[in-house]
Chains A and B, each alone.
Chain A
């Protein structure tokens, strides 16, 4: 039966004999002209080798990458993933051998347990002395002594809403997102841990629970809310909020700042039930082939001026004490923004995610799928 498809396409193809070739030449020329050699990154190598970086998309200032390449002579090959869950199988199967991987806190824990990470040589990362107390304390939870990971950014998960359409102060709780009046106006996180964290917090449970009953109840709560939800997404939420496709979105604190820059009426709330505080870190996989370059990369990221540039680009919390002082001087208004520097009493209610082990992971997965397919 595919024959019919073939035959009908066949005649169309015949018509293209000359022209597909011409167009392909045009395209090659076009791309060759406009991206002058940079696209040959797999072939060219810096004078001091390469470093393969695997991280969230758009998560390092491109200027910082350029500066690093210029100063060290190391060629950076930057590849991206959307979620940690997507990154993990790539690393665990070592189907691609990356040198530096940006990993979330709970993923660091999982990778340590599965022996996928190599110890970072602290002597090669002298700038780690700038790491802040708060970060080191939370880091004890997932990587005691920062043997395998060094924090890159931190932040919280909260709610951002458009105060032109939703009265200021109307939303203070996660459970507000279950109100009928917000029908088709809510955007929720489309990732397993963040997604289930919210109902777990409403139910007063830890977001690291391994109690199947609690997880099941949380999933039921999400199913109950599904009709009200406009869309489940991750990165796309901020643009949809700005485009006023919906007025309420669950969002990472850094993204909230990005939205507020475009639109002052966006309000960020760290809900009172407590939330997740997260750390994204740099790690080096066991299979890394350019470990020293990876350490140079991490050290570079910890240089105060680079950490400041990173903050200016991303607007996520910085683990760098020196950079924080500079921010306080340069951007005093940021210190009053709950998205950046939340109330300490609220931080106290926050938890980092922990790696829960294969069995509990499977339970979360099962109920998450049940909710998603509902």
Chain B
């Protein structure tokens, strides 16, 4: 029995499941409805509607990634000092991640709707109801909630790997607590932070589900445009072209982030 033959199914799968589909995406993106070559689907990103949707997506994704980081890093630092029941506490933070992400997003809709829980409490207290849902804020909230574990996991891993002796040494040398956090823990957890940023930024930039459910049709992201072109708009070529542009933006942002961490490349190769 030839061991190499064992790779045959995988080769077939990679070709059929990854390479051919991506090649087709490229083909659709670079041709028009009749099959002749065109760049118009790519250049269509310049149309006001498309450009605005891309910029909104970049903005919302960047803001929610930042918030995720600002929430997750202190958690990781604090968890490091927990002594009793550490496993249980980490478990508490990760448990919601195992729940279906549509259910989690829907939960926010129930909370934020004008006839929903938060506004019911507000009006019961005698205040004017607030505009919570169907705003950029609601979409960011959904992104943060859905993707926070993806930020927390790698950062927590990186932070917990830092040996206690390292931080003890810093304290012994007279560093204040803040100094230890910012001058020792933060630099040492950069690889985890970079992973976290990519793992939050990419799904946030490309989502159409969260903007649909919490944006009330008022927030239109590049993911929504692409989804609509393939479903409602019936222009697969345009949808494919915009997907390519979106992928390019993801690659650019990943390269940009990777600049902060030389280990990333090593990390990428298995």
Contacts and interface: CB of A to CB of B under 8 A. Distances in A.
Nearest to B265: A1
A231 B233 contact: no
Contacts of B171: none
Interface stretch (B18-26, B77-85, B194-202): B194-202
A233 interface: yes
A369 B220 CA distance: 9
B179 interface: no
Nearest to A242: B115
A243 B220 contact: no
Interface SS of chain A: helix, strand, loop or mixed? Answer: helix
Between B56, B158, B198, B220, the greatest number of chain A beta carbons within 10 A of the residue's beta carbon is seen for: B220
B153 A9 contact: yes
B50 A3 contact: no
A251 to B, nearest CB: 15
* Most chain B CB inside 10 Å of its own CB: which residue of A184, A362, A365, A373: A373
Given A190-B217, A373-B53, A1 B194 contact: yes
A79 to B, nearest CB: 15
Contacts of A85: 231-234
Interface in B133-180: 133-134, 150, 153-154, 156-158
Given A4-B192, A85-B233, A92-B234, A373 B49 contact: yes
Contacts of B48: 370, 373
A246 interface: yes
B49 A366 contact: yes
Nearest to A86: B231
Contacts of B150: 5
B233 A8 contact: no
B220 A240 contact: no
B217 A372 contact: yes
A244 B195 contact: no
Contacts of A366: 47, 49
A4 B234 contact: no
A88 B52 contact: no
Nearest to A234: B217
- Main SS at interface, chain B: helix
A202 to B, nearest CB: 20
A27 B228 CA distance: 34
A2 B199 contact: yes
Contact of B49 (A5, A12, A362, A369): A369
A2 B195 contact: yes
Contacts of A240: 113, 115
Interface size class of A (residues with CB under 8 A): 35 or more
B46 interface: no
B186 interface: no
B163 to A, nearest CB: 18
A359 to B, nearest CB: 12
Contact of B158 (A4, A190, A373): A4
A357 B217 CA distance: 26
A83 interface: yes
B157 A373 contact: no
Contacts of A362: 235
Contact of B191 (A4, A9, A226, A373): A4
Interface in A11-56: 12
A243 B216 contact: no
Contact of B218 (A2, A4, A92, A229): A229
A193 to B, nearest CB: 11
A91 to B, nearest CB: 10
User: Most chain-B CB neighbours within 10 Å: which of A12, A89, A232, A369?
Assistant: A369
A133 B42 CA distance: 50
Interface centre among B198, B233, B264, B268 (most CB of A within 10 A): B233
Contact of A4 (B157, B230, B236): B157
Contacts of B235: 362, 365
Contacts of A226: 218
A243 B119 CA distance: 12
A4 B261 CA distance: 14
27 contacts: A1-B264, A1-B268, A3-B268, A3-B270, A5-B150, A5-B199, A8-B157, A83-B232, A85-B231, A89-B230, A89-B234, A230-B134, A230-B216, A231-B133, A231-B216, A231-B217, A232-B216, A240-B115, A244-B114, A369-B50, A370-B48, A371-B49, A372-B49, A372-B217, A373-B48, A373-B49, A373-B225
3 shortest interchain CB distances as A-B pairs: A232-B217, A369-B49, A231-B216
Given A1-B154, A240-B113, 11 more contacts: A1-B195, A4-B157, A4-B267, A89-B236, A190-B217, A229-B218, A231-B216, A244-B114, A245-B115, A369-B49, A372-B49
